[in-house]
Amino acid sequence: MRRIVFILPLLLACTQMPESVPVELIAEGTKAFTETTISNLDGFYVTAKNSLGRVLWENIHFVKDEGGSRFTGGMYWPQSGELSFYAISHSYPLTVDGIAVKVQPSPNDGDVVSAVKLNAYKGSSTYLSFGHIFASLEGIVFTPEDGCSVNVTALSCQFLMDGTYDIASSSWVDTGTPGAAVSIASPSLENRNLGLLCVPGECTISVSYDCSFGGHTESCTTSATVTLPMGKKSTVSGTLCAASGIVSMTVTVAPWDEEVIYNNKL
C-alpha cells in the first residue's frame, strides 16, 4: 500500500514537561457513508458527445442488468462516427462548456464516482473505469511524543463542502469556500465506513486538550491546515511534543478499503 506523508509543524502557546503515561485518542466523523463498489453500483448517468462536440445524450440513466455487469439506458449508437462518454453515479444538473462537463456534487449525497471514456466506436465493447471524486477524512489521532499526561477535550475540523467538478478532466475546477467547523465524535472503531466526505482541498483540524504535569494542569488549543486529496482516505495524526512545545500534524493517505470500480460495461 503506497502512502504519501505531509508534515506541518505548528508552535504551541504553552510549555509542558514530560510525565506520566501517553494517552491516545482516535476520533472519527459521526456521519456514516457507504463506499460505492462494483457490487452496489446499480446505475449511473451518462452524457455523450459526438466527434464534432455536439451533445447527443444528457444525463441518461443507465441501469445494471440483473445479475450482470452490463448497464443499459435505452439509447442507440449513431450510424457513424464515435462518441465520448461522461458518467457520474448521481443525477446532477450539467453545464457543458466546450470540452468541459461540469457538475456541482454534494458530499451530503454520499459517495460519488465518475468515469470518462473518449472516442468510443460503434460495435466495440465500451468499458468505463470509475473512481471516487470526494476526499474522505477517516480518522484523527493525537498522541504525546514524550510521555506527558494529555486529555483531549475537543476536536473539530473545517473543510470544503461546495465545489465544481469537471467530469471531462476528472478534476475539481472550483473548490469554493470552507464550511462551518464540525465537531468530531468518537464512535465505535469497528465500523470502517464511518468518516467525513468533503470536496478535496484544505481542511483545518483544531484540537483542545489539558496537559498535566507535577500536579499542575494547563489547557491548550492549537490547529493546523492539511490538504485532503481526491479519491483517497486520509488519516490526520498530531504529535504533542512537550519538550519542544511543538505540534506536528501528518496526513497519511491510503486507498479506499474496497476495490475501486473498474471496467463497468455500457
Q: What is the pLDDT of residues 224-255, one digit of tens each?
A: 888 999 988 888 777 766 555 556 677 777 77
Q: Predicted confidence band at 134 (pLDDT cuts at 50, 70, 90)? A: very high
Question: Stretch 16-41: mean pLDDT, rounded?
Answer: 55
pTM of the model: 0.78
Strands 95-97, 71-72: parallel, antiparallel or unpaired by DSSP?
A: unpaired
Question: Stretch 194-211: mean pLDDT, rounded?
Answer: 82
Q: What are phi and psi of 253, to 5 degrees?
A: -105, 130
pLDDT, mean over the chain:
74
All residues at 6 or more sequence positions from 245 whose CB lies less than 8 Å from its CB, including other chains: 11, 12, 14, 15, 16
Q: Predicted confidence band at 47 (pLDDT cuts at 50, 70, 90)? A: very high
pLDDT of residue 254: 73
Angular region, 42: left φ>0, alpha ψ -120 to 50, beta rest = alpha
